[in-house]
């Protein structure tokens, strides 16, 4: 069963990613702050709606309130194939990645809740994301999605010609593509010049 509204889907996705990253559930206050909502009661209504649809379950422990997301069981040794579509710059933007029929084998658990058919791979060039442990020669796993939240690592297409891997932040009519390397400066551009091509979801490091 799917969430009834887009906001419910966004909240469910946020809770799932938060648990995967931190190992525990976000509070109502954290969820509200993430979405810029002032009332925790509004979040409670969305949570209740998700609970009624069987997408989350309430869990009480020592008198506290938590969330347990119902996720698909994924075998730890399950492997899937995703297409390798070329290169992306973790440095200066490269020309748009070329089409290819090459694919890479990926442990299914690395993709979390994202279906394999929604994912493609890019080989990283450069070291601008090295503080995120994304290194030259790594293979980035990218969810094929055109909408990103502030702070997400994205494949950004600049002027419909050059692709780069950076954290995206919005500032009014501008966006900032921010590296994870203290030696490099962010790139600030008018929003209309930047198109999100995908969201970073994981990493493969080829054996030397």
The residue extents of the domains of the chain are 6-69, 79-204
What local confidence, expressed as pLDDT, does residue 79 receive? 87
What local confidence, expressed as pLDDT, does residue 22 receive? 66
What local confidence, expressed as pLDDT, does residue 2 receive? 65
- One fold for 6-69 and 79-204: no
What local confidence, expressed as pLDDT, does residue 58 receive? 61
Q: What amino acid positions are annotated as catalytic residues?
A: 128, 166
- Dihedral sign from CA coordinates of 30, 45, 199, 142: positive
CA distance 88 to 165: 6
Residue linked to tokens 């055109």: 146
Parallel, antiparallel, or unpaired for β 64-69 and 153-158?
A: unpaired
Distances (CA, A) of 80 to 103, 104, 121, 134: 10, 8, 12, 22
Q: Determine phi and psi for 92, rounding to 5 degrees.
A: -70, 140
Q: Which two tokens stand for residue 177?
A: 């593509």
Kindly state the helix (H) or strand (E) to which residue 40 belongs, with its residue range: helix 40-52
What local confidence, expressed as pLDDT, does residue 92 receive? 63
Domain 79-204 coded CATH 2.10.109.10 = yes
Indicate yes or no: pTM above 0.85: no
In CATH terms, the fold of domain 6-69 is: Arc Repressor Mutant, subunit A (1.10.10)
pLDDT in tens, the chain (208 residues): 566 788 888 888 888 777 767 667 788 888 888 888 888 889 888 888 888 877 777 654 443 445 556 555 555 568 889 998 888 887 666 554 555 568 889 888 777 778 888 899 999 999 999 998 999 999 999 998 888 888 899 999 999 888 899 999 999 999 999 999 999 999 999 999 999 999 998 888 876 5
What local confidence, expressed as pLDDT, does residue 23 receive? 63
């Amino acid at each position: 069963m799917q969430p009834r509204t887009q906001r419910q889907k966004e909240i469910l996705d946020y809770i799932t990613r938060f648990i995967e990253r931190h190992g525990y559930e976000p509070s109502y206050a954290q969820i509200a702050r993430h979405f810029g909502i002032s009332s925790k009661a509004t979040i409670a209504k969305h949570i209740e709606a998700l609970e009624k649809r069987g997408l989350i379950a309430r869990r009480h422990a020592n008198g506290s309130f938590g969330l347990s997301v119902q996720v698909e069981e994924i075998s730890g040794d399950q492997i899937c194939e995703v297409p390798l579509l070329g290169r992306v710059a973790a440095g200066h933007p490269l020309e748009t990645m070329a089409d290819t029929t090459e694919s890479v084998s990926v442990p299914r658990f690395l993709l979390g809740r994202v279906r394999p058919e929604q994912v493609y791979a890019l080989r990283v060039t450069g070291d601008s994301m090295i503080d995120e442990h994304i290194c030259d020669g790594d293979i980035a796993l990218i969810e094929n999605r055109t909408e990103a939240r502030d702070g997400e690592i994205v494949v950004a297409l600049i002027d419909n010609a050059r692709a780069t891997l950076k954290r995206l932040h919005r500032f009014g009519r501008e966006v900032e593509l921010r590296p994870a390397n203290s030696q490099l400066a962010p790139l600030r551009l008018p929003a209309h010049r930047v198109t999100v091509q995908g969201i970073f979801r994981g990493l493969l490091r080829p054996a030397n």
